[in-house]
Structure 1
Amino acid sequence: MPEDLYLGIDGGQSHTEAVIADGDGNVVGRGRAGPSNHAEQPGGRERLRRAVVESVERALEIVEKPSLKEVTFAAAHCAMTGGAEFKEEVIASILRARHLKVGHDAPAALAGSLAGGPGVVVIAGTGAVSYGENSRGESAQSGGWGHLFGDEGSAYWIAKEGVRRAMIAEDCLLGRTNLRASALTHFQKTSLRVLALSVYGEEISRDQLATFAETVHAAALSDDTVAHDIISEAGKSLAALAGVVISKLYSDSEIAPVAYVGGVFRGELARQSFAAALDEQTPHAHVVAPRFDPAIGALLLSYRAAGVKLSDELLSNLSERGEV
């Protein structure tokens, strides 16, 4: 087993991913487990503990000493969605590391996307948030208010709008759309009223509702104008989040690199809508594809905490296993 091991964890609403590497950027293991969000809910702390333990132990399977109890990491960075403050106690009881940091997920997403460099990232998964850092060490965030108060452009928002506009169309208050039939098929319900009751009664969770976003995107690609409008609006909302962060960190004469992360951006139309809206709203922004995923981003932050230089050689080694 390498003498020094570094750990990065990306704890999200859909899954928790751990990546372990040596001091030169050679990845020795990856592991994935269930979600680690909603830790404040009943049973949430145990769910968080289980997700972290399972993801790290799966990453350690190919290392000579696979037991988590036998490993002290040189550094570990845990990037957690939905706030990190109350999660630190749980994670500190699980992991042993000379440098341990439990933080929010956005800085890790930025670090991964831009390989540790300054810029802005927009995260559009179940929720939506933008975060940035400039070369002067300043940082800013926009969005991230959750599904009740924000998250415009997120998978949840796209899915909710898809169902909502299908309901409006059923009341003959909106143009023709196939979203009604698509929603009933996706959620296996007999009517939109039954679907609504299932959502209000929490038979369908927020995360489950968000899965309908992919169907809305597919409908948009099939020339469903109602679905197309939803994806277009999502792109504009996400671009607006980035624009707020850029305005706080960059002057109009500075080029602002902007990367994107999250399931919404797997959709080509969503990416195109986002890029076009950002170019119109903030001309000095430069959209770039993410280099590494957020788990690698958390790993990069663990290196930084331990004083390890993010050299070209280290990043090249990571590229062999970690590029998006």
Structure 2
Amino acid sequence: MRSKYKVHLLLRITKNVVMFSIDVMFAGGSSSNIVIVNASGHVIGKAEGLSTNHWLIGIEECAVRVNDMVVKAKKNAGLSLDKPLASLGLSLSGGEKEEFKKKMENVMKENYPNCSLSYFICTDTFGSIATASDSGGIVLIAGTGSNCQLVNPNNDVHGCGGWGHILGDEGSGYWISHTAVKTVYDDDDGFVKSPYDITLVKESMYDFFKMKKPFDILDHFYKDFEKAKVAQFATTIAQGASKGDPLCRHLFKEAGILLGHHINALESKIDVRLAGCEKGLKVLCVGSVFKSWELLKEGFIEGLRRGHDQRSPCYKSLILLRPKVKSSLGAAILGAKAINQAFPVDYSQNTESFSTFTP
């Protein structure tokens, strides 16, 4: 499942326009953060809330928590709790599905009439892309889970990944952790011998999961499974890779290859206006796995080049960006556009380049 869930609000008052933006970031659905910015883009209030991952808690509970955060945000900003927002934007995993949009909007209107007069609901990656560009782009997520999405200038959307830990999440923190654990067990069983020594990963696994015997791992992957907790083991693997452990470095290289494949999968669908940009095709990279970019880089480039073995890339260069602001700002931008209330945005201040790939 996607590693990052976001909820964003937009409040329009008759004479003064205030953008409410909730940026919900959590691993496995643990917490939410709301940032309130005004029409000039200045933060004027903040609040925290519980997870709003409707895949895990259901739509009804998601609505409860969204409304709770709206109330907290209003109090923090000194606004009336009885005055509905003009537009409430929700950028959520699964937000691209019409069935979900209708049900979520109906629940909000019926149960919380003072929350908002209207609703704008979109998929979870839109907010990230909108912070970096006003004409679309690519966002590549690698946190607890993984996902890649392309938004073309005409608003056509194409995705790769985002199917959760059972069907996907390749290259994510969960994937790295799961692959590390499976490598240990496969080697111990004699089922598939690891090409690298498993000692450090095995010792780290026993320590991280507080294991005393091999069967103890089953509680963490079945009985008491928490995707976010398993994914956190990737941090330990990153530490081992930084110290030079061959298996740890191999795991991050493989993760990089898979993340590169996400870009390859969408390449044929990239609009020529994005691909033909003289400054290069920009990819916004979101998620904690990218904190270990130096460990991913070799594999990522290899993954991209594998996709070009029999064809030339559609872009002159690929520019990887990391966000400098919360993606809630992007959702506020989208929400403002939805009610024809745009505000000036300096996109160059919202991201920074950290790597460039030239075929």
TM-score class normalised by the smaller sequence: 0.7 to 0.9
| The one of 64, 73, 77 aligned to 2:85 | 73
Aligned partner of 1:235 among 225, 234, 256: 256
| Equivalent position amino acid for 1:227 in 2 | C
1:134 paired residue number: 152
2: CA distance between counterparts of 1:265 and 1:87? Answer: 32
1:55 to 25, 47, 69: 69
In structure 2, what is the equivalent of residue 264 of structure 1? 289
CA contact (8 A) 2:219 2:225 kept: no
Is contact 1:166–1:180 with CA below 8 Å preserved after alignment?
A: yes
C-alpha distance in 1 between matches for 2:284 and 2:153: 16
The structure with higher relative contact order (CA 8 Å, sep 6+) is 1
Identity in percent: 22
The letter of the residue matching 1:101 is: F
Are positions 1:106 and 2:125 aligned together? yes
Q: 2:183 aligns to what SS in structure 1? A: helix
The answer (yes or no) to whether the contact 1:156–1:213 under 8 Å persists in 2 is: yes
- Superposed displacement of residue 195, structure 1: 0.8
Q: Does the 8 A contact of 1:19 with 1:56 survive in 2?
A: no
Which residue identity is paired with 1:125? G
Query: How far did 1:218 drift?
Result: 1.6
CA contact (8 A) 1:4 1:74 kept: no
Query: How has the CA–CA distance of structure 1 residues 5 and 87 changed in structure 2, closer, same or farther, with 3 Å as cutoff?
Result: same
Secondary structure at the aligned position of 1:62 is classed as: helix
Q: CA RMSD in A?
A: 2.9
Residue by residue over 1:123-178, the C-alpha shift from the partner in whole angstroms, topping out at 9 and shown as x without a partner, is 12222111112234332111111211111011211111121112223335223131
**In the alignment, does 2:203 pair up with 1:184?**
no
Match of 2:4 in 1: none
Query: 2:253 touches 2:300 (CA, 8 Å); kept in 1?
Result: no
1:29 alignment counterpart: 45
Contact 2:333 2:343 (C-alpha < 8 Å) held by counterparts? yes
Q: Is the 8 Å Cα contact of residues 48 and 69 (structure 2) preserved in structure 1?
A: yes
- Residue aligning to 1:153: 171
Report how far residue 46 of structure 1 moved.
Answer: 5.2
CA contact (8 A) 1:156 1:210 kept: yes
Residue 196 of structure 1: aligned partner:
218
2:241 is equivalent to residue 220 of structure 1: yes
State whether structure 2 residue 22 is matched by structure 1 residue 9. Answer: yes
Determine whether 1:170 maps to 2:188.
Answer: yes
What TM-score, normalized to structure 1? 0.83
| Secondary structure of the structure 1 residue equivalent to 2:323 | coil
- How many angstroms apart in 2 are the aligned matches of 1:56 and 1:269? 39
Which region of structure 1 is more displaced relative to structure 2, 272-281 or 160-169?
A: 272-281
Partner deviation per Cα, 1:182-231 (whole Å, 9 max, x = no partner)? 11211112123211244222x13222211212112222112121121111
CA contact (8 A) 1:120 1:245 kept: no
What CA distance in whole angstroms lies between the structure 2 residues aligned with 1:19 and 1:304?
Answer: 19
SS in 2 for 1:307: coil
After TM superposition, the structure 1 stretch with the greater mean CA deviation from structure 2, 249-258 or 159-168, is 249-258
**Aligned partners of 2:202, 2:108: CA distance in 1, in Å?**
43
Shift of 1:273: 4.3
Alignment partner of 1:302 out of 316, 323, 335: 335
Q: Which piece of structure 1 moves more, 75-84 or 28-37?
A: 75-84
Q: CA deviation at 1:54?
A: 4.1
Match of 2:140 among 108, 119, 122: 122
